[in-house]
Every structure is written in C-alpha cells, then in structure tokens.
Structure 1
C-alpha cells in the first residue's frame, strides 16, 4: 500500500499531513534525491508563465478539457490576474524536447494520456500515439523544477520504478506531481485549473512578509486537501440532496489554508449540523460511502520541500540592491 493511503483513525495520511516521497529505485535517482540539499529559491515572477505541453491525437474527446477548465470565467470573477498559460501541442518527441528547452519558467504541465505496460509495469506518457521512455531523453532535455503530470498511471501503484514520473526527476525536476491510478479527465483538468488559481491568488498572500519563504509541498498539500474536501462534499450533496454547502466549502478552505489541524473534524461537525444528525452518523456515512477520491491518486514525488517561494526571490532582491547602489553612486 502507498504510504499516502495509510490510515490514521480511518483517514488517509496524505489528507491529514503534508506528504511527499523519494522514489525507491535500484538506480541512482533515489541516492541523488536523498542527498539533495540545495534549496531552489523562486519568486512570484517565476510563476508568471506556465507551460502546458499537450499531446493528443486528432478527435480525442478530452483534448480540450484542460484548456476549457483553465479559461473558465469562474477564475476571473474576482479580478485575479492568472499566470500566462502557454499551450504547446506536440506530436513528436523532438517537439516535446524543443518546447521544454525554450521555456524558462518554474512550472511544466504535461496534458495527455498515460499508459502502463502490462509486462514491465512501467507507466509512460504517450506522445504521437506512442508510449515514450523519458529516460532516453537524459542528455537532451532539462526539466523545470516543478512538473505536473495531468495523465493516468504516471507512477502506477502496482508498476515499475522506471515510470515516467521517476524519469522526470532523472531529467532534472525537483518535484513531480504524478498519478498512481487512472484519473478522470474533467476532474483532473479542474484540479490543475484550481491549482493555477491558487498560485495566482494564494501565493501572493502567503509569501507576503515571510523572510523564510513558503515551500511548494505546503502549497500543493493544501491544494490536495481542498480537492479531497470538495469530492467529499460533492458526495454528501448527492446522497442527502442538500444544496446549502457554499458557506461550508468556504469555511473548510479557510481552515485548510490556515493550517487548522482539525479542519476535517470541523467539516464533519458542519455537515452534521446541516442535516441535523449526530457527528457519529456523518462518520458512519463517510466510512460507507466515501469512494476513492481522485485527489488520493496523486503523489508528490521528489523533494518539494526544497522549493522555497518568496514574494521577491533572493536573486531578484540582490539584483535590485545592486541596481540601487549603482544608481546612487555607492
């Protein structure tokens, strides 16, 4: 069983705590990841552009799901300025490599299909209709520090260590968000769109005045918890037919963002008050009805805690000081 699914009082570990892991591999990736100590220091400006590499064949019914989700008017209602999301469609490995090499931002999203080889157990991304061994790109491309794989089976729960997600680490990524099981396209697209909105809306707030920065694992763990809470409340609404959870959703997100340890306990209490039943009945419903949430299928692989995000990166701050000194004749 993946460590993310280990239960504490019936709740998966990754729901309650910030969780990431270094892949256990027989090669040198595990050693390199374990020995990594240098921190990657980024500023908000490093998230102004996000690259989406899209790999679908003509006529694929899910090809535009992510673009539709990201460009939804819902993310612009409050005037939030979203990052410039650049979609690049590729159908060959060379195009895939060229798109990455010409990008200089912090976040790369792969939007396409994943597949698992039945004989080897290797989970691969699909480009041009073919499963690609990303390990073969070792000397051709260097990944941005943050890679998000919006595809199925990029680290199959019953698969091989040689999967695409681990390969992305070998290609230079510091952390990879990957999938252990197939994920539903629209839910996956909504998750990525929501994460982009979180980068635009939440990062400026949480980094303001924090000299030590905020690490990426914290940001992503909060996103996964909010997605889990959303799926839980969606199931609750389907079962109880109530449409009065808007305020509950807002309060739950506020609990998660403020790192309230009892956010899930608070959610259960709010749900019990909605239907006027004891909290123990909500727990019984949860145990009986809560299916495998899509948010539990994601893994934070690598060392996301080493990626520190500042309002202004230390490099930018240093360059600004040098420029001020130069202009002032110091």
Structure 2
C-alpha cells in the first residue's frame, strides 16, 4: 500500500477547533400529491431533485477534507461516518431558521433557485453557505463550474470556517494551501443507474471518470459485470478493509405487482399494442435490471416518448428511479460503502408472501408444513434470480449490510444461514419513496450514553381478560434485571397513548399490544383500546423515542402495504424500530423482548469491563438476533425433532452465546457440530433437518428497520469523537 500523505500540520492541530459541516437539501414541500408507482412527492420529481442530492453526496464530509489529498480521505471518514446530511422541506427549514446562531457548524443549504431565494430571506447564521444551480446574489452558483464536483465549494468552506476560528488562528488557517485539483480520470463512467452509487462514492473520494461507456443490453450479465466492477473500484479507493455494503432492490408499491389488476388494465388499454410491451414488460415487469430488448419485424421502432400516455408513464418512472438512485448514492457516500443492486425479480413474489402470512396465522401441523414449503420456495426463487457473482460478494466480502428493499431479502439463505443472521443487517423500505429518500439521505451519528437505555417504557394495551395481557411483564420478571428499569403504562385510547409518549423522555419504548394490517392498499395499525391507531398520524403530535421495539403482529407486514406500523413510527420520529414481518406467538414474542432487555442489562456492562467504549444499536441487536436464532435451533431439535434432551439446552446454548459474543465467524458451524454430537447424528443430518423441516424460525419474523447503524451507544464517561 502506498504511503499516506499526511494533513498539513497546522490543520491537524486545529482539529478540535474546526466547525462541522451540515448539509441540507431543500424541497418545496408543496402539496401536489405523490407519484403513483413509488410514492415520491410530485414536487421533487418536477423539477427533479436528484442532481441536488447527488451533489450533496460528493461534497466534503468535513472541513479537514478540503486540505486532504485523495489517499487520506477514506481514513478521515473512519471509524465512524463523518458526514451530516438531511433533506427538509421549506416549512421545516423555516422552523430551523428560528434557532439560535451557532459557531460549531457550517450549514450548507442546497436547493433550486426559488427555494434558495426564500431561504436566504429567513434568519440564518452569517457563515451559512447557500448553494444552487444558478442562484440569486449571495448564493454560490454552480453554473459554469468545470472542475471536479467534489471540490466545487472548497474555497467557500475554507472562508466560512476561517470566520468561525479565533482571530489569532485565522491567518495561519487561510494561508494553508487547499488540496490540489484531483487528477483527471482515464476510465469512462458506465452511464447507468446500477453503477451511479459506486461511481459517486468514488468521485467523493477524489476519483474522476472520463466520458461514458453506456451499457446497451437487455440481459442481466453486463449489468452485473458493471455493478461488481464499480464496487471493486470503490473498494480499492476505500481500502481492502471495506466490508460494509448497501444492498438494494428497486420496487414499486406492492399492490401494483398485481399486473392483471384494473389499475394496469385501465392504464394500458389506451396505449398502442406495440408500446405496451415496452411499458409493462420492459419497465415494470422486467426481471433483470434497466435494459430490455425488442424484436422488430422489418420496421422502424416507434418512439414511445411521443405517445401521449406511454411517454409520461416512462418519464415518470425513470424520474422515480433517478431519485431512488440518488438516495442510494447518498447512503453509499455517507457510509463510505459500496452499493450492490439486485434484479427486479426479487420483488415478483407477492402471492407467495401472502401464502406465507396466511399459513403463519394458523398453528396446526399441516399449516406449519405449508408455511415452511412456501418459505423454501421463496428463498430458492429469490436466490436463483441473483447472479452467483453477487452471492459470492455477499458470502466472501461482506460483513454489515444496509438493505434498501421491500422484499424480505433478509431471508435469503447463503450456505444454509439466513442473511439477517449471517450478517449485521438493517433495512430501509424502498417504498414509500419520500421516506426512503429521507432515510437514505439522513446521515450523522446520534450518540447515547449506555445509561440512557436503563429507563424503558412499555406501552401496553390489552383487554383485562386477554390471556396474553401479562405475558411480557411475566417474562421480564424472570430475568430479574439489575440496571434496566421497565415501567408498564396501560393505555386505552390514542389520546392516552399520545399523553404517555409525551411524558416519557427516555430512549426505548416497547409497544405491547395487538397489531395488524388491512392488506396492500391500507395502513397497518396498532390496537389501542378499541381503536386501530395509524402510527403515521402520530407525526408532529407526540414524541417518539429513538428506539422502538414492537411486541405486536405484522408491524412490517410481508403482505401489507408500504404504510406499515414500523414505517409510520420512523416517519414520526424514531431512528430505528424492531418490527415484525408476520404474526408472532405472544409467549415467544414476550420471551424475545425480555431477552433483548436482558442483553442490554448484562452485555453493555460486560463490554465496558473489557475496555470497549462504543457500539452501535445495530451491532447490539444483530448479535442478539444470532443468539435468539441459536435458541430457536436448539428448541427445534428438542421439541420438534426430539433429538436432544432439554438438559442439552443449558449446555450448548451458553457455548453458542459465547461464540457469538466473541464475534466468531464460525459460530453457526460450531453450533451445528455440537448439536450433531449431542444427538448422535451427522453434521449433514442436522443441516438437512433444518433445511427440510424448519428453515423459517421465529427469530426470522423480526427485522431492524430505519438507521440503527447511526445510533451509537458509548459506554465510557464521555462520548467517542
């Protein structure tokens, strides 16, 4: 590896004095409705917001970067993400503008000229940078800029930062040379949405492309080649230690995957027959990536964009895809992690998902077998649709995954282990588009002291004669928690729920109640008293803690709409939600939540005793899910297969937990071998029993939603920098 050229000494010495950069992309936030396919606000589609999000993605993450050569940039973004970004509408910006001036950060406000003009008329810090395409006086305009995009505002950032330093430091700071212009590139961009996130990640780290070499194919293979090549290019720049990725699968709202529905029939009936194939099969039902091919019989192709119906449909969906790609690019650059796109066909399993949900609601042996068969079919079909080179990327080069998808990609089995158990993994829903874009663009670490997790509220709502009313409370009492204090509050209406949440100032809320959904065209709900509460309506009227755990059924439902309970809580203020794909067994759910609280109670002090100072909520929950999965496996061989005595649970279980806590990559293999030894079966017999009889276990009903990787827990006396 080449030697890393250091930062200028005088700049490194000012590290603690330099202000942070906070990027904010402005949207009009006008009430023009939503796009029909993915659910973006119409005002971010026309004019298209994507170029502004892409600009935000490549600009410096910190003031230090404007002095740093390219080979230093990856190190400056470790060990924790440094970039602080968000997307906000003008109404939100008006509220933010009322805050007191600050000298510890520089706001970089990016927007269309009309929004920038409005923002500049509001109160703002003197050091605020307003950036636009062609702006009003006082704003930085990119019109006519010819240099490397990542360096477009280096000078402006330097001058704004200098104004915030003590007077005696300003001259030396201003005299320090900025980083040299990044070298011109020699290789072309692939000119495709499937590579744009990786190309923008590389650009943000000083790489440049020269021209374009567009992918012109209807087959999947050339796209996979380009995806892998662009990811490897980004990895070479980041360094070979890069093991985190964004894994994403573009989709439309779930109800529109019923391609024989009245929606599609009404939409397509007035489109000429030769153009229907382009719209339906080339764009929406294309199993591969972006391209498609048509066979023409001795005639010139008709331009679909000239058709009054087909043209707007194609343009609108392409705008949605461009916005989606911009969001993924922002997520990749803020986390300094490559992005891998999956084929569209992973979304084409709506009927199987409905069957899985239907049979999960019934507890008899016949339905349990049908449930497992449907899961095996789903996992096999999704895995078969994904190129083996991508599977190898996941298997050999990936540790942590930020998943952006609606399909349950967590359930993919690689080497016999579900992706959500094999990897540290969290998810963002691909729909609705507005929420996806906001979550992907939101970056910056939120730090909590470990003590903030000691005060937990359980919002409970069951009838007094409901047999599961006390299940969670009884389960928690079994663990005899030492530090964590859990308070149960019974609520019987939405009004009481709001009052309860507003009075709680802690970090973790658990909802203990019934949940459900009304299908793929209706909102999910929580049963509070006699009301079905739509969590999307809690935004701006109650405080939602940063962490929410849902001990309720179908809160991120496989067969429900994008308007799930979990998504509603994220929209209303939560940073992360532990939700459920399916209906859950009340007693097992109670045990699951109680064990999670026990892990907080015992594991965090144990880490501190080992001189560990920091971990993310995603890491904590991911290791817990592995422990829960190990428990499910042991119980399967004890209760269902009768291969093990109950006493073996207390012998093998702690050993599996120790392997998981030590982050051993072979913990699953060691667990399988211990089960084989204890049951006097072969390793292959154990694996075959799992794969054939019960590959879908209760722990897999849960998922981490939102941005738990941005929620840090510090264990020492001061937060980590």
The TM-score normalised by the length of structure 1 is 0.90
CA contact (8 A) 1:69 1:189 kept: yes
- Asked if 1:16 is matched to 2:16, the reply is no
How far off its partner does 1:120 sit?
2.1
Instruction: Return the alpha-carbon distance in structure 1 between the equivalents of residues 703 and 523 of structure 2.
Output: 16
How far apart, CA to CA, are the structure 2 residues paired with 1:188 and 1:82? 22
Secondary structure (helix, strand or coil) at the match of 2:583 reads: coil
CA distance in 2 between counterparts of 1:287 and 1:8 reads: 12
The corresponding residue for 2:582 is 181
- Cα deviation digits, residues 250-296 of structure 1 (max 9, x gap): 10000111111111100111111112222111111222222521110
2:612 aligned partner: 210
Partner of 1:247: 651
1:146–1:173: 8 Å Cα contact kept in structure 2?
Answer: yes
Q: How big is the shift at 1:191?
A: 0.7
Return 162-171 or 305-314, whichever deviates more: 305-314
Aligned to 2:435: 29
- Structure 1 position 119, deviation (Å): 6.2
Match for 2:707 among 303, 308, 311? 303
Q: Deviations over 1:43-91 (max 9, x none)?
A: 121012101000112311111100010112xx23xxx514110100001
CA distance in 1, matches of 2:432, 2:619: 29
Matched, 1:98 2:499: yes
Correspondent of 1:48 among 431, 454, 457: 454
Mapped to 2, the partners of 1:90 and 1:68 lie a distance apart of 19
The residue correspondences of 1:203-282 to structure 2 (distance < 5 A) are 203-208=604-609, 209-211=611-613, 213-238=614-639, 239=641, 240-245=643-648, 246-282=650-686
TM superposition shift of 1:129: 2.2
Unpaired runs of at least 5, structure 2: 1-406
User: CA contact under 8 A between 1:207 and 1:310: conserved in structure 2?
Assistant: no
1:147 equivalent in structure 2 = 548
Q: Measure, in 2, the Cα distance between the counterparts of 1:50 and 1:248.
A: 31
CA displacement, residues 133-175 of structure 1 (integer Å, 9 cap, x when unaligned):
1111212012111000110011111211111100100111000
TM-score between both structures, scaled by the size of structure 2: 0.42
CA contact (8 A) 1:45 1:312 kept: no
Residues 177-224 of structure 1 show CA distances to partners (whole Å, capped at 9, x for unaligned) of: 00010000000000111111100100112245334x100011101111
Does the CA-based 8 Å contact 1:143-1:171 persist in structure 2?
yes
* Matched pairs, number: 311
- Report the counterpart of residue 34 of structure 2 in structure 1: none
SS of match in other structure, 1:4:
helix
Q: Which runs of 5+ in 1 are unaligned?
A: 319-330
Specify which of 689, 693, 696 is matched with residue 292 of structure 1.
Answer: 696
SS at the partner of 2:467?
A: coil
1:84 pairs with 2:485: yes
State which of 155, 163, 171 in structure 1 corresponds to 2:564: 163
Contact 1:207-1:311 at 8 Å conserved across structures: yes
Which residue of 673, 687, 710 corresponds with 1:283? 687
Higher relative contact order (CA 8 A, sep 6+): 1
- Return the alpha-carbon distance in structure 1 between the equivalents of residues 717 and 506 of structure 2: 13
Which structure: larger Rg? 2
Q: Distance in 2 between matches of 1:214 and 1:161?
A: 30
Distance 1:277 1:241, change over 3 A: closer
**Which residue is 1:109 aligned to?**
510
Structure 1 distance, partners of 2:679, 2:700, is: 27
